[in-house]
Amino acid sequence: MDGLTPALFSAAQLPEGQPVNLSRRGVLGAALGALVLGVALPRGAARAQAAAPAVQPGTRIPAFLEIRQDGSVLLKSPFIEGGQGVDTAMAQIVGEELDADPARFVVECAPPGPDYALVNGRRITGGSFSVRSAYPAMRQLGARARAMLVQAAATRLGVPAAELTTEPGKVVHAASGRSLDYGALAAEAAALPVPETAPLRAERDFRYIGKPVARLDVRAKSTGRAMYSIDVTVEGMLQAAVQHAPRLGMEPGAFANEAEVKAMPGVHSIQRLPGAVAVLADRWWRARRAVETLQVGWTPPAADARNVMPADFSSAAHHAVLAAATGPGNPAEVEGDTAAALRSATRTIEAVYDAPFLAHGQLEPPSATARWNADGTLDLWLPNQAPEMFQAVAARVAGIAPEQVKIHSPLLGGFFGRHFLYDSANPFPQAIQLAKEVGRPVKLIWTREEEFLRDALRPMGLARFRAGIGPDGMPVALEAEAVGEGPIGRWFGTAPGKADPSAVEGIAEKPYAIPNRRVVQVPLRHPPIISFWRSVGHSMNDFFYEAFLDEVAEAGGQDPYQLRLRLLAEKPRHKALLEAVGELSGGWKRGPYDAADGTKRARGVAMASPFGSEVATIAEVSLKDGAVVVHDVWVAVDPGRMVNPAIIEAQVNSAVALGLSSALLEEVVYVDGVPQARNFDNYPILTPERMPRVHVRIVESGAPMGGIGEPGLPGVPPAVVNAVAALTGQRVRSLPLAKTRLGAV
């Protein structure tokens, strides 16, 4: 685990967009006798990695396929596995064209290198982009490897290659009844050039793509062999725990009981950090006990301090600031003349919706391990979703060149957008500093309390809507103002006068045929550190829009499901999906109605178009002691095309759980610049007994492949809230539902 494959050659040595036979370039090392292929990206994509040096540790290729003599297959993946199943999907895609059983694959995360930039010129595992961005390259990689193995077999058997076929893991000559395993052919195939073209399988002949292939990581996780960042052990390391300043921007002052803490069992030292103090010890529990015992006097922020949380900041006051902010705003979508249409409408309605700050609360608490080496290089083990980005920032923190930083990317104990680079929200800069100070490797783990104190948050959101309704009850105009900011604008910037796409996604460019539309963003910066959160802006904006659309339906005397069908009459893909979820649920019925168990229930519906996929959701709810009970959630999802239906179903189930948790319970509350919840006792999340039955139907429309990790979430909050409105007559416009007192049915 401590070593990384050395740099093999520069990007300029790899032909753009073509597989290359690394076996013939003298770079096999221990893999002698294996067939090793890579695929280089266009150099323009590599150049997009502005921070990347000319040479970096790693294989320098985005796909590293090694067919070993025993017939097993090693694939170095550009993506991070964190429970979403991307390793299995990569094995399915390559294995399909290679004609190799994905169960024979070993998939490892590739080390940093600028040539892994498969996602719009960057290497990122996120945005539900992994499978769809890698699909063409991975298929080509497998197809050309298969062609080389067939050619090697043809030479060995003395027959034309056209007479040969393959079965999983072997080349077959049906006429003579002979066959050769891939492992037996690997060395001979390694001596061949890569063919310029190789035919891809017809979809009707797929063995693995589109099938529910078993996850590759299940056994390791089930037996405790899976290694996460929190499991890393490095020889001679110390363990560290931290205590952060209660408010961002404050710094440690005097210690009231320093001698007492230094005398505690196992304590090595006390260290000061920016905005925090750390205790290092031989065991983490001892470090934690000591740092929590340390009495620190915290000093006010310096005049030039960055990221200072105002002492009087509260989430309630910030909500009022959002509500008071006015336009005109930056345009995101303008179609027709909404002002004129609103003036001539038979009826107009208005509403304001909002959603709170949210924490990530992933299963694995943040951690990082840092080791400085005798040659001045630095090894870092840390959870991340973008190795090259972390490498560049770690190099700046450490004061060394990026090529001197070796990033190890273990399995992630949860994604949700938590493992990107956010100011003050990552422990690895602290681990780097601590390891340098003490001259030993340091493993740092944040407690859950420190995580909640420094987590980067999903932004608070607020949106104002106004709609005009014609004499036939159909909407003729819709205006929306999304107030606040999104993580894309915060971390990557937006063009002047343009809306931040992450602040308006889920409101702008909806598929409904409303002739006059105007959507703008009213920019307003949030004092807390904001972040990506599963489904990003869609996580709240689809709630805003789809709940308001139900209000439009009611004002026009329309059933909300039927209104959506009418508005989607010219969008066959969306209409078919809405009909599919209605059928899946046993036929649309809004309610209230009596269920078999005697409860009074109702249903709500919502649509969403996140990350290249389309989703339709129906939720069924009742009330018990004034609280919402969600019994069933039906989800029809159209990802265009699919690789693994079992993984899609699992991802939809997990997205429903997180979407429902946010709708019912979750909220980060600030008072006096400090988050009030420091653990799950004051930040409740969905418990197993509140998890509904989830029913999933996958509809392959043949559209370009979309994402799947996040799309199942955005439709859940509006479907639930719309069902609550149908059941109680109360229209809830502010999440979570737990803060609203619901009346009788």
pLDDT at 4: 23
Confidence of residue 139 (pLDDT cuts 50, 70, 90): very high
Percent of the chain with pLDDT over 70: 91
Least Cα distance to 60 among 130, 119, 143, 123 occurs for 123
Whether the link from the prior residue into 57 is cis, omega within 30° of 0, is no
Report residue 700 as tokens.
């392959």
Confidence of residue 334 (pLDDT cuts 50, 70, 90): very high
Q: Please enumerate in sequence order all residues whose Cβ is within 8 A of that of 317, keeping only pairs 6 or more positions apart, or say none.
A: none
β partners of residue 444? 240, 368
Q: Flag whether pLDDT at 685 surpasses 80.
A: yes
What is the C-alpha separation between 706 and 129, in angstroms, rounded?
8
Structure confidence by residue, pLDDT tens digits, 645-658: 999 999 999 999 99
Of 93-97, 419-423, 452-456, 616-620, the one with minimum mean pLDDT is 419-423
pLDDT at 187: 87
Confidence of residue 38 (pLDDT cuts 50, 70, 90): low
Structure confidence by residue, pLDDT tens digits, 436-475: 999 999 999 999 999 999 999 999 999 999 999 999 999 9
Axis-axis angle for helices 130-157, 182-190 (nearest 10): 90
pLDDT at 63: 59
What is the C-alpha separation between 589 and 586, in angstroms, rounded?
9
pLDDT at 123: 83
Report residue 93 as tokens.
């895609």
pLDDT at 505: 97
Confidence of residue 402 (pLDDT cuts 50, 70, 90): very high
Q: Flag whether pLDDT at 1 surpasses 70.
A: no
pLDDT at 114: 66
Helix (H) or strand (E) holding 662, with range, is helix 645-664
pLDDT at 55: 30
Of 109-113, 159-163, 371-375, 401-405, the one with minimum mean pLDDT is 109-113
Q: Flag whether pLDDT at 62 surpasses 60.
A: no
CA dihedral 359, 361, 365, 369 (to 10 degrees): -50
Q: Flag whether pLDDT at 50 surpasses 50.
A: no
Helix (H, G, I), strand (E, B) or coil at 706: coil
What is the longest distance spanned by two Cα atoms in the chain? 86
pLDDT at 161: 95
Confidence of residue 113 (pLDDT cuts 50, 70, 90): confident
pLDDT at 129: 85
Asked if 603 contacts 727 with a C-beta cutoff of 8 angstroms, the reply is no
Q: Flag whether pLDDT at 367 surpasses 90.
A: yes
Helix (H) or strand (E) holding 33, with range, is none
pLDDT at 24: 42
Q: Which of 355 and 128 is assigned the larger pLDDT?
A: 355
Structure confidence by residue, pLDDT tens digits, 476-530: 999 999 999 999 999 999 999 999 999 999 999 999 999 999 999 999 999 999 9
Structure confidence by residue, pLDDT tens digits, 295-311: 999 999 998 888 899 99
∠ at Cα 212 (93, 150), nearest 5°?
35
The rounded mean pLDDT for the chain is 90
Where is mean pLDDT largest: 8-12, 64-68, 194-198, 662-666? 662-666
What is the C-alpha separation between 266 and 284, in angstroms, rounded?
10
Asked if 286 contacts 264 with a C-beta cutoff of 8 angstroms, the reply is yes
What is the C-alpha separation between 657 and 712, in angstroms, rounded?
10
Mean pLDDT of 605-614: 97
